[in-house]
Amino acid sequence: MLILWAFPEGERQVAQRSIGQEQFGFAGRERAASSLDVLVSLIDWSQVAELLDPLYPATKGEPAWPPLAMFRALLLSIWYDLSDVKLAEALDDRASFRRFCGFSANEATPERTAFVRFRRLLVAHKLDRALFETVTMQLKSKAVTVKTGTLVDATIIASASEGDDDARWVKHKGKRAVHGFKAHVGADADTALVEEVSVTSANINDGKAGPEALPDNPGEVFADSAYRGNHFRDAVRAKGGIPRIVATSVWACTEGEAQAWLHQWNQPIHRVRGRIEKIFGTWKRCYDLRRMRWRGLAKAAAQVHLTAIAYNLKRTMNILTTAA
């Protein structure tokens, strides 16, 4: 019997592969436990899938891989520092990677070029920030109980090439010049979850870009002396926060009194704000964010947002595991 499906006028039929269909195999194998199985259950992925809906392809052409599976694969590439080629090989070989992305044990997985195309679509639709905000909102509801303070700082990330026209040179005293971008980050002072991210060229002043890294109701805001201008202080107060910024000078009767006051003021700030360096250390040492993988400010922002999502997921899992 022939069945014809009629679609209402204007409704788009999506050409998308169906994955996760198990085939016949040998019984009796117990699957090994993986931290990826915990990460799958950490958030409601349907909200992420809704954001990725615009990436569905047209009706013609080869069926596309489900966007949510591709997004999860990009997270794997960050956690395990994999190129597109290595990611394709790992998905074809590792059972835990397949389960995390939603593939069954025996079906085909995407090739390298599929990840390239998906990433381009992600940037073209400017979904990286929305994805970061959606995932982070869910994670904060699980890990952040009472908001007490915010850490604000920036880190320089070298460009993929000195031919990148969106990147700029920057030179700090005692360090070599770097051609690249700057990630401005606001993180919860207690949990070290990244709450806000802004990406600029490397020559943008921290204090000028700092307000973009402030979450709502930030509490006490801990920052180094690069943020000591009125522009940043006013932005903190406008959001209901209290600036706690490292001071470099103070009026006093004697030098000894000035040094004593600066030490008393700065030490508590240094003790708290130093926690953000662990975030940057994880990004660069574990997730290889020492250098951008792709050219252009939009792609640089996408890479930083994806890294922040990957970091927040792992950080929340560790917090909840420790608390259990």
Task: Assign residue 268 the CATH number of its domain.
Answer: 3.30.420.10
With a cut of 80, say whether residue 58 has pLDDT above it. Answer: no
Q: What secondary structure, in 3-state letters, does the chain show?
A: CCCCCCCCCCCCCCCECCCCCCCCCCCCCCCCCCHHHHHHCCCCHHHHHHHCHHHCCCCCCCCECCHHHHHHHHHHHHHCCCCHHHHHHHHHHCHHHHHHHCCCCCCCCCCHHHHHHHHHHHHHCCCHHHHHHHHHHHHHHHHCCCCCEEEEEEEEEECCCCCCCCCEEECCCCCCCEEEEEEEEEEECCCCCEEEEEEEECCCCHHHHHHHHCCCCCCEEEECHHHCCHHHHHHHHHCCCEEEECCCCCCCCCHHHHHHHHHHHHHHHHHHHCHHHHHHHHHHHHCCCCECCCCCHHHHHHHHHHHHHHHHHHHHHHHHHHHC
Most confidently modeled range among 4-13, 227-236, 257-266: 227-236
What pLDDT is recorded for position 216? 92
188: CB partners within 8 A, 6+ apart: 140, 144, 147, 149, 150, 151, 195
**Domain's final residue, options 97, 124, 151:** 124
Domain-located, residue 175: yes
Assess whether 213 and 92 both reside in one domain.
no
Q: Is residue 220 a contact partner of residue 150, using CB atoms and an 8 Å limit?
A: yes
Give the residue-averaged pLDDT of 240-247. Answer: 95
**Domain's final residue, options 85, 101, 124:** 124
Assess whether 174 and 316 both reside in one domain.
yes
Domain-located, residue 46: yes
Give the residue-averaged pLDDT of 119-143. Answer: 94
Higher pLDDT, 139 or 8: 139
Assess whether 230 and 139 both reside in one domain.
yes
What pLDDT is recorded for position 6? 41
Domain-located, residue 16: no
With a cut of 90, say whether residue 19 has pLDDT above it. Answer: no
Q: Is residue 309 a contact partner of residue 187, using CB atoms and an 8 Å limit?
A: no
Assess whether 118 and 139 both reside in one domain.
no
Give the residue-averaged pLDDT of 115-120. Answer: 93
Assess whether 150 and 215 both reside in one domain.
yes
With a cut of 60, say whether residue 47 has pLDDT above it. Answer: yes
Number of domains, the chain: 2
**How much of the chain, in percent, has pLDDT values that exceed 90?**
71
Domain-located, residue 180: yes
Give the residue-averaged pLDDT of 75-102. Answer: 94
Assess whether 165 and 106 both reside in one domain.
no
Assess whether 220 and 278 both reside in one domain.
yes
Higher pLDDT, 145 or 35: 35
**Domain's final residue, options 71, 104, 124:** 124
Assess whether 97 and 176 both reside in one domain.
no
Assess whether 53 and 146 both reside in one domain.
no
With a cut of 50, say whether residue 60 has pLDDT above it. Answer: yes
Query: What's the rounded Cα separation, in Å, for the pair 210 and 244?
Result: 14
Assess whether 79 and 188 both reside in one domain.
no
Domain that holds residue 307: 132-323
Q: Of 23-32, 99-108, 155-164, 232-241, which gets the smallest average pLDDT?
A: 23-32
Give the residue-averaged pLDDT of 166-174. Answer: 91
What pLDDT is recorded for position 299? 96
Assess whether 256 and 146 both reside in one domain.
yes
Domain-located, residue 7: no
Assess whether 120 and 159 both reside in one domain.
no
What pLDDT is recorded for position 2? 41
Both structure tokens of 246: 């490292």
Amino acid letter at 103? F
What pLDDT is recorded for position 134? 97
Q: Is residue 257 very low, low, confident or very high in pLDDT (cuts 50, 70, 90)?
A: confident
Domain-located, residue 294: yes
What pLDDT is recorded for position 218? 95
With a cut of 90, say whether residue 148 has pLDDT above it. Answer: no
Q: What is the mean pLDDT of the chain?
A: 88
Domain-located, residue 265: yes
Amino acid letter at 58? A
Domain-located, residue 6: no
